[in-house]
């Protein structure tokens, strides 16, 4: 197998007092995407940032901003994040009354659309919409917090989704989010993932470009062994 691997550092573990600097640092360190976690204290039990903060970091980013909406309802926020500079917008099907409509809405705003599967979400949510997606995001932790342990059953799920994506013949990305570290990146890529979110594993060490570069290179290196 030969596959490109993208690393998406999650700003959830960055220093929120200097987000612009953190964005520039992880990009200098090799980030392919900036993963931007939006939590609403309703769909998930935590509260983070909205479109204003996305707009504020946008001038600091030379890579696409990968917005992960953990909010309910979803639709009203889609145009706001599109205007704030999102490149990708992903959402949870449980949070939308009309999943197909939300996918079309995201695409109509000029963004790539992703659907997120929680650890207990069955693959059946991909029925009838997979070919309309640019990305499937598999949660390998329950959404809401950084720094949680990787749930091993996600690997079998990634394998199954990779097979389904292959059967479409379309270049749909398969992203994994939660507990991604250098010591499990190879298994995650071997299962079929091509895009790895990493929060606490990237924003670590001396919290500077050198530490971020080391962390990103280690995760990418492990993943490429399997890709």
The catalytic residues are: 37, 177
- Helix or strand run (H / E) with residue 151: none
Contact residues toward ligand DX5 (CB under 6 A) are 10, 12-13, 35, 37, 68, 141, 143-148, 177-180, 197-201
- How far is 111 from 217, CA to CA, in rounded Å? 28
For the bound state, the minimum distance from the C-beta of residue 198 to ligand DX5, rounded and expressed in Å, comes to 5
C-alpha angle 83-48-195 in degrees, rounded to nearest 5 = 70
CB closer to Zn ion out of 6 and 163: 6
- How far is 226 from 218, CA to CA, in rounded Å? 13
CB closer to Zn ion out of 66 and 222: 66
Q: What is the DSSP letter of 193?
A: -
The reply on whether position 92 binds Zn ion by CB under 5 A is: no
For the bound state, the minimum distance from the C-beta of residue 72 to Zn ion, rounded and expressed in Å, comes to 15
For the bound state, the minimum distance from the C-beta of residue 90 to ligand DX5, rounded and expressed in Å, comes to 10
Tokens of 53: 């903060």
Quick note: the x/- pattern for Zn ion over 149-188, rule CB under 5 A, is ----------------------------x-----------
CB closer to ligand DX5 out of 110 and 187: 187
- The burial class, CB within 10 Å (0-12 / 13-18 / 19+), for 120 is exposed
């Amino acid at each position: 197998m030969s596959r490109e691997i993208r690393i998406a550092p999650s700003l959830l573990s960055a220093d929120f007092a200097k987000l612009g600097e953190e964005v520039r640092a992880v990009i200098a360190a090799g980030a392919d995407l900036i993963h931007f976690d939006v939590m609403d204290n309703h769909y998930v039990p935590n509260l983070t940032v909205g479109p204003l903060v996305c707009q504020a970091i946008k001038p600091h980013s030379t890579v696409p901003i990968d917005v992960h909406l953990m909010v309910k309802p979803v639709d009203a926020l889609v145009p706001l994040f599109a205007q704030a500079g999102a490149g990708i917008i992903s959402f949870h099907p449980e949070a939308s009354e009309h999943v197909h409509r939300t996918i079309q809405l995201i695409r109509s705003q000029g963004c790539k659309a992703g659907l997120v599967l929680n650890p207990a979400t069955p693959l059946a949510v991909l029925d009838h919409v997979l070919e309309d997606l640019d990305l499937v995001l598999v949660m390998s932790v329950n959404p809401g917090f950084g720094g949680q342990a990787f749930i091993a059953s996600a690997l079998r799920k990634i394998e199954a989704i990779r097979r389904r994506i292959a059967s479409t013949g379309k270049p749909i990305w398969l992203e994994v989010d939660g507990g991604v570290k250098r010591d499990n990146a190879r298994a995650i890529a071997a299962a079929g993932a091509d895009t790895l979110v990493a929060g606490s594993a990237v924003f670590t060490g001396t919290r500077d470009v050198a530490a971020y570069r080391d962390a990103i290179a280690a995760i990418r290196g492990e993943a490429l062994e399997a890709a």
